[in-house]
Chains A and B, each alone.
Chain A
Amino acid sequence: MEKLKKFDFFAMVKRNGLVIAFIVFFLVFSLSSSTFLSERNVFNVLRQQAVVGIIACSVTALLIAGKFDLSVGSILSLSAVLVVDLHEKIAPIPAIIITLLVAALIGILNGFLVGVLKLNAFVITLGMLTTVGAIPFIYTGGHHVQILGIDEVWFGFLGRGKIGPFPSQVILFIIFAIITSIFLAKTVTGRRIYAIGGNEVTAKYSGIQDAKLIIYLYIFTALSAAVGGILLSSRVGGAQNAYGRGYEFEVLAAVILGGTSINGGSGSIIKTVLGVLLLGFVNNGLIMIGFDYWIQWIVEWGVIILAVCLDILARKGGQKVGY
């Protein structure tokens, strides 16, 4: 009886390692720092992680289909610059629409190259990361763009406003996560995404139009990156040319930490949201209890490797891992 209980405990740790890690970190930080759990700090972290979270949701969907999108960082930079510049030159609503359209075009191009021409997603989107990353510089000539009086225009509300106690960004993140989650779990198209990622050949013979679906997914990631860019530029009231540099990897780190397999076929939005939040709170907590900010990177390294190791351990009983 005693033994059985112990076994169950370890199995539980393996399966829910992330949730437990989350609780442990949370407890340690809230005991060591009086301000960690304050409303202000919690919302601060949520707000910081909202953009990563929004992009992470769509990247999760794409990863489930077995594809990468590394170009999101550059799409974010481009959207931020574009929306700010057009906001000043034309008007807010056309600016947002044009920005989203441009992002969608990049998404279509990604989707065409990966879905229709069946090229390697990693290399293609890395190429797009490089290519698109240069466009904001070319567009602005290397200058920084900004919106004058960001607090007076409604565009500022997107990144700075609050509805009740919730920052608007956070609400958008929650809506994004819920919709994507329901879409993936409950709709036919959502299940097809899992099918493609699980086994592309089988999916094809089952009559799933994978090319079309992959194009849609790339449009989705591009649009979410654009939304991220719009939110960030609204928050700051301006944009630099390399705003999104490194976002692609930050997003992937959160998604992988959540436990979505980069080989496709498995994963969920809830896991990703947990990954995003865990990263945010760990980073914030470490700073709150007095560590230098670069310590968080080292902890991140350890946490990701540990999470994936636990994941492998949990699966080892069921299936053979690799070679």
Chain B
Amino acid sequence: MDIKVAFTRVRGFVTEQPIWLAILVIGTIMSLISPDFGQFSNVINISNQAAMYGILGLGMTMVMLNGNIDLSVGNALGFAVMVCIFTIQQTGSVLLALVLTIASGLVLGFINGFFVAYVGITSFVVTLASMIGIRGFTFIICKEWSIPGTSEAFKEFGEMVVLGIPIHIIIFIFLVVLMQLILSYTRHGRESFVIGGNLEAAYNAGLNVKRHILINFMVSGLFVGICAILTAARINGATPTLGYDYQTMVIVAIVIGGTRLSGGYGSMVRTAGGALMISVLQNSLNMMGFQSYWSQLVTGVVMILVIISDRFVNKGRKRIITEDEKAA
């Protein structure tokens, strides 16, 4: 009986989130082709890559559940990393650097969220503009030079390994679980879904729509800050062009995971799956000796196929959102 229940649950999970099955299938095939693929070190390597896009993706998923988008995450990451390394270089205080990095993420998130929620500008426009502008502030700090990291303690934090697993993978897994719990079991999480599903209805039902949207943009900013600290510690330095194209890959990861851009549908586990999938694809193609641009091609094609299949798989079901086209 227990096995039956478990089986039904697993089947439900797989039909709901086929991304994990796909990862498993690709993983199995790859392990047969190349024995190196299944090695512990390579699995860590894959998770490493997934963690970076994944952490940014977790924050952006909150924004997307509202039916908004945050294009500025990539350049905001570059800025926050720069703030982190620059503060350490100037003051030598790691603690101050951590505080300022998180703060810079939150402030950028607040600016985006304020214009979207309280001024009423489309999120695409607001974050497109800040994507361009934030880059300018990064350059003001560094004057187009790279800055090396100067703190040994901070560097050691980036290289920290617990039970054979690098620290940022552990943080990533922790954040996925935490955010999924927040999403499923808190009022803010539930109401974020409602807003994405039908904004007018949410407003009429008395939800504080503006505050939720603002908070979600700040959550995205917070995750930019967290990701920035981990990135800064890992590469132990900052370059002005860091994070330029990240927003594209983050959106791709979220979409492959199955979260809808139109809002009201998605989850953190899906985003984690999407990030892992991209990383598995990149790693597999790499293992088979393809150059990195091939994995870019495959990622793009997979993304388009996911959207097409999403449309046909869900055609039979009753769709909550009919105006898919008006997403952005």
Taking a contact as CB atoms closer than 8 A, the residue among A120, A133, A294, A295 that contacts B325 in the complex is A120
- In the bound complex, residues from chain A placing their C-beta under 8 Å from that of B120 are 312, 321-322
Q: How far in angstroms is the closest Cβ of chain A from B158?
A: 28
Residue of B nearest to A296 (CB): B136
- In the bound complex, residues from chain B placing their C-beta under 8 Å from that of A131 are 296-297, 300-301, 304
Main secondary structure of the interface of B (DSSP, over half): helix
Taking a contact as CB atoms closer than 8 A, the residue among B131, B244, B311, B327 that contacts A117 in the complex is B311
B308 pairs with A302, CB closer than 8 A: no
Q: How far in angstroms is the closest Cβ of chain A from B324?
A: 5
Within 8 A of A (CB), among B112-160: 115, 119-122, 124-126, 128-140, 143-144
Residue of B nearest to A264 (CB): B326
A68 pairs with B328, CB closer than 8 A: yes
- The complex places the Cα of A323 from the Cα of B128 at a distance, in Å, of 22
Among the stretches B10-18, B171-179, B248-256, the one at the interface with A is B248-256
Encoded as 1 (CB less than 8 Å from any B CB) or 0, chain A from 261 to 303 comes to 0110000000000000000000000000000101111101110
B325 pairs with A130, CB closer than 8 A: no
- The complex places the Cα of A133 from the Cα of B293 at a distance, in Å, of 9
Residue of A nearest to B295 (CB): A134
Known A-B contacts A294-B135, A309-B119; A119 and B311 likewise in contact (beta carbons under 8 Å) = yes
B326 pairs with A309, CB closer than 8 A: no
- The complex places the Cα of A120 from the Cα of B303 at a distance, in Å, of 12
Residue of A nearest to B299 (CB): A130
Residue of B nearest to A252 (CB): B128
Q: How far in angstroms is the closest Cβ of chain A from B232?
A: 21
Within 8 A of A (CB), among B259-274: 261-262
Query: Is B291 in the interface zone, CB < 8 Å from A?
Result: yes
Query: Is B228 in the interface zone, CB < 8 Å from A?
Result: no
A142 pairs with B328, CB closer than 8 A: no
Within 8 A of A (CB), among B265-303: 291, 293-294, 296-297, 299-301, 303
- In the bound complex, residues from chain B placing their C-beta under 8 Å from that of A309 are 119, 121
Query: Is A253 in the interface zone, CB < 8 Å from B?
Result: yes
Taking a contact as CB atoms closer than 8 A, the residue among B128, B131, B299, B307 that contacts A123 in the complex is B307
- The complex places the Cα of A138 from the Cα of B296 at a distance, in Å, of 10
Encoded as 1 (CB less than 8 Å from any B CB) or 0, chain A from 114 to 143 comes to 000111111110111111111101100010
A304 pairs with B294, CB closer than 8 A: no
- The complex places the Cα of A200 from the Cα of B327 at a distance, in Å, of 14
A134 pairs with B296, CB closer than 8 A: yes
Residue of B nearest to A74 (CB): B300
Taking a contact as CB atoms closer than 8 A, the residue among B132, B262, B308 that contacts A253 in the complex is B132
- The complex places the Cα of A179 from the Cα of B120 at a distance, in Å, of 34
Query: Is B200 in the interface zone, CB < 8 Å from A?
Result: yes
- The complex places the Cα of A322 from the Cα of B213 at a distance, in Å, of 14
Query: Is B40 in the interface zone, CB < 8 Å from A?
Result: no
Known A-B contacts A127-B307, A294-B140, A312-B119; A262 and B291 likewise in contact (beta carbons under 8 Å) = no
- In the bound complex, residues from chain A placing their C-beta under 8 Å from that of B261 are 120, 122-123
Query: Is A100 in the interface zone, CB < 8 Å from B?
Result: no
Show 11 residue pairs from A and B whose CB-CB distance is below 8 angstroms, ordered by the A residue: A120-B325, A131-B301, A133-B296, A134-B297, A256-B129, A295-B136, A297-B136, A300-B129, A301-B132, A304-B132, A323-B199
Q: 8 shortest A-B CB distances, which residue pairs? A: A301-B133, A131-B300, A130-B300, A294-B139, A297-B136, A137-B293, A298-B136, A134-B297
Please give the residue numbers on chain B whose beta carbons come within 8 Å of chain A beta carbons, in ascending order. Answer: 69, 71, 115, 119-122, 124-126, 128-140, 143-144, 199-200, 203, 209, 244-245, 248, 251-252, 255, 261-262, 291, 293-294, 296-297, 299-301, 303-304, 307-308, 311, 324-328
Further pairs besides A137-B296, A295-B136, A300-B133: 5, Cβ < 8 Å: A123-B303, A127-B304, A253-B128, A292-B139, A305-B126
